[in-house]
A and B are shown apart, each in its own frame.
Chain A
Amino acid sequence: MHAPREQTYLSATVDIRSWLLTTDHKRIALLYFAGITFFFFIGGIAATLIRFELITPGPTLGSPDFYNRLFTMHGIIMVWFFLIPSIPTTMGNFILPMMIGARDLAFPRLNLASWYLYMSGGLITIAALLLGGLDTGWTFYEPYSTFYATGYVILAVFGIFVAGFSSILTGLNFIVTVHKLRAPGMTWYRLPVFVWSTYATSIILVLATPVLAMTLLMLLAERVLHVGIFSPQLGGDPILFQHMFWFYSHPAVYIMILPSMGVISEVVPVFSSKPLFGYYFVVWCSIAIAAIGFLVWGHHMFVAGQSLYASLAFSFLSYLVAVPSAIKVFNWIATMHEGWIRFDAPMLYAFGFIGLFTIGGLTGLMLAALAVDVHVTDTYFVVAHFHYIMVGGAVMGFFAGLHYWWPKISGRLYPDYWARFAAILAFFGFNLTFFPQFILGYLGMPRRYQSYPPEFQIWHVLSSAGASILAVGYALPIFYFAWSILRGPRASANPWGATGLEWTTRSPPPPENFAKTPTVVRPPYQYDRGKPCMQAGDVR
């Protein structure tokens, strides 16, 4: 059942039913794009209000309680409803099956069900926030979250619980797809690195998320039924909650960053016109990060009262997990070395990623050192560090991928000038927002406080100024992507001259992806300084 020649996945059917009941991985990816964008802006509005509040040392917008609810909302929405699903569910869904030459994911209906779970969880959580929110912070630490917090903890936790199953099922779908649906000739070492890193991410999604689900279930039991599990006044162990929470939530950091690393590993070779340096190292570093990432959660608890020997082990392992990340950075830079570099928007975002991720990673090493961590625990130093990883790293990677695959997804080109401008704006805005926070934290400004001593104001004002630049950098793509959809010139099958199976089919792709299942004959990234030697049509 081949579609007519010019039919695309967008034009095959157009009514609303065909979207809401679609099992096409490309359409489900767009459904996720809609959801992710919505939650990104909800979380972004919260961030804007936080930065607005912190311009003055005293209360600006509302009470301290309002501020507590604000940063909780920002954290919950950004972590669970934007960062964790962002790249896997959108670009992973759209591109991964095409990269391996498959017609769809292994379980298309399960994929659609995952989207409904994600949206249900998200809307339940939004409902909790609209009803008045909650003030626990995104970490729900015990016993505050069960016996003292007054907000809608039950509703928000339940929303996250539901969305967790979306993560689990998405990860499961990717794992099975990569194992079983590769095209003939697509051996494991011919897989693009984006597939490898999504695969590594999926392993974390599948193995870590159930632990969060059970932990949240126990938290709910304690809050709803007032029975002792974690609360010390009922004989429970609040440190146990932290262990179980971080057993998920530290690997969750790698859920956020690994897919971005995958995107960067695709973008850098194309725009350097060179094969990826050290393909095997990059591949196995993804797996190593996923594996070692399960063993470092205790570094969130150096001051929580865990044993010193445990802290030493976690500190050592946290240094260890930095090694594969560093190898990747070296490999991207080595890929660019003596390459024919094109400064298109995806590459600018990739540059941003490499620089910001490196700063985030190096400050992570400082935090992995016991003595330094004790000094800066719960300060803005930590806030700056993880924003460099999650925003400077993960979100830059998200935008790099979005700009790289946009012509494939939409079939249209976007104005490169504005895209480059947005990338540069985001880079400078980001640094101005978060670099002052390193200094603030080192000087002793604790996180999650509305009021602060007046001598910190200059750094907060700089940070808020940066945030307004960053906001423009993030808002610009909405306008030029909208223009691109409406007026943009049509994209060819392979506008970047890239290798990879997704570029061998039309833009936008036909519903079945490939007219004929491709046969792969060579490894990825066969670039030769301006002359890509595996172009569209090179695949038998």
Chain B
Amino acid sequence: MSDRALGFQYGTLAQQRETATLGMWAFLATEVLFFGALIAAYLNYRIWFGQEFIAAASLTKVVLGTANTAVLLTSSACMAMAVTTFDAGSKRAPVLWLSATGLLGLVFIVIKATEWWLEYQEHLVPALNFDLARHGGVAEIFFVFYFCATGLHALHLLIGISLVTWLAVRIGSGRLQPGGSTTRLIGLYWHFVDIVWIFLFPLIYLAGRNA
């Protein structure tokens, strides 16, 4: 993803940029199907076990989840600012915005880990200490999906945080110049991880909360 060197298979820098961009979009399409399969399976049970899933969803920490949604949306705004300021030619601003992005990502992980810890204490973790007698088998299925979905999302976010850190160091040390696609592509990835959360949050936390 070096920005200035032209790969021998490309004719022009513009072609290289467009190619990289399309590659990232195609990759995100596979990610949509990856998470889409999990969400489809979840929805199957959400429809089948309506009441039980609503009861299980009421055990999630909706305040922490909502706070995390705000944190992640703010991080995406910071990411957007980083891309814009970088393209405008600024050197200090994108590093600051990227640092804010990465830090907010870490805050999200910390809050998420807190939730998991609380759930562990309430015996809600399937395979570790799930209290079947108290919560029932359907709630266990709900929490299997909960941990699969939030776990995979957190894994994607950790990859995103690593990429953002790497990017901030590259820009800070002047090894990355505007005009390339690296910053924009990592931005796309970050926004995608954000969008996954935008789907997971209402599906998991808000089920039945309007009643």
Is B118 at the interface (CB under 8 A from chain A)? no
Whole-angstrom distance between the Cβ of A95 and the nearest chain B Cβ: 16
A327 to B34, CA, bound (A): 33
Chain A residues near B37 (CB-CB < 8 A): 210-211, 213-215, 244, 247
Evaluate contact between A229 and B41: CB separation under 8 angstroms.
Answer: yes
Evaluate contact between A244 and B29: CB separation under 8 angstroms.
Answer: no
A181 to B36, CA, bound (A): 30
Contact with B along A214-236 (1 / 0, CB 8 A): 11011001000111110000111
Evaluate contact between B19 and A180: CB separation under 8 angstroms.
Answer: yes
- Looking at B7-15, B63-71, B88-96, B191-199, the stretch in contact with chain A turns out to be B7-15
Evaluate contact between A106 and B9: CB separation under 8 angstroms.
Answer: yes
Contact with B34, one of A104, A213, A225, A234 (Cβ below 8 angstroms): A213
Contact with B44, one of A107, A227, A237, A247 (Cβ below 8 angstroms): A237
Is B22 at the interface (CB under 8 A from chain A)? yes
A161 to B43, CA, bound (A): 23
Evaluate contact between B140 and A211: CB separation under 8 angstroms.
Answer: no
Q: Is the interface of B mostly helix, strand, loop or mixed?
A: helix
250-278 of chain A: CB within 8 A of chain B = none
Contact with A244, one of B19, B22, B41 (Cβ below 8 angstroms): B41
Evaluate contact between B18 and A180: CB separation under 8 angstroms.
Answer: yes
Evaluate contact between B144 and A106: CB separation under 8 angstroms.
Answer: no
Whole-angstrom distance between the Cβ of A24 and the nearest chain B Cβ: 10
Nearest neighbor of B44 in chain A, beta-carbon distance:
A240
Evaluate contact between B22 and A229: CB separation under 8 angstroms.
Answer: no
Evaluate contact between B127 and A108: CB separation under 8 angstroms.
Answer: no
Chain A residues near B38 (CB-CB < 8 A): 214, 218
Whole-angstrom distance between the Cβ of A105 and the nearest chain B Cβ: 7
Chain B residues near A211 (CB-CB < 8 A): 33-34, 36-37
Is B137 at the interface (CB under 8 A from chain A)? yes
Is A10 at the interface (CB under 8 A from chain B)? no
A42 to B23, CA, bound (A): 34
Contact with B along A398-415 (1 / 0, CB 8 A): 000000000000000000
Evaluate contact between A228 and B44: CB separation under 8 angstroms.
Answer: no
Is B27 at the interface (CB under 8 A from chain A)? yes
A343 to B20, CA, bound (A): 44
Evaluate contact between B9 and A208: CB separation under 8 angstroms.
Answer: no
Nearest neighbor of B19 in chain A, beta-carbon distance:
A180
Is A103 at the interface (CB under 8 A from chain B)? yes
Evaluate contact between A210 and B31: CB separation under 8 angstroms.
Answer: yes
Evaluate contact between A235 and B23: CB separation under 8 angstroms.
Answer: no
- A-binding residues in B (CB < 8 A): 7-11, 15, 18-19, 22-23, 26-27, 29-31, 33-38, 40-41, 44-45, 48, 126-127, 130, 137-138, 140-141, 144-145, 148
Subset of 26 A-B contacts with CB under 8 Å: A103-B8, A104-B8, A172-B27, A175-B22, A180-B19, A180-B22, A206-B29, A207-B30, A207-B33, A210-B30, A210-B33, A210-B34, A218-B148, A225-B126, A227-B140, A227-B141, A228-B137, A228-B140, A229-B141, A229-B144, A229-B145, A234-B140, A234-B141, A235-B137, A237-B48, A512-B8
Shortest Cβ-Cβ A-B pairs, 6 listed: A225-B127, A214-B37, A210-B34, A210-B33, A104-B9, A227-B126
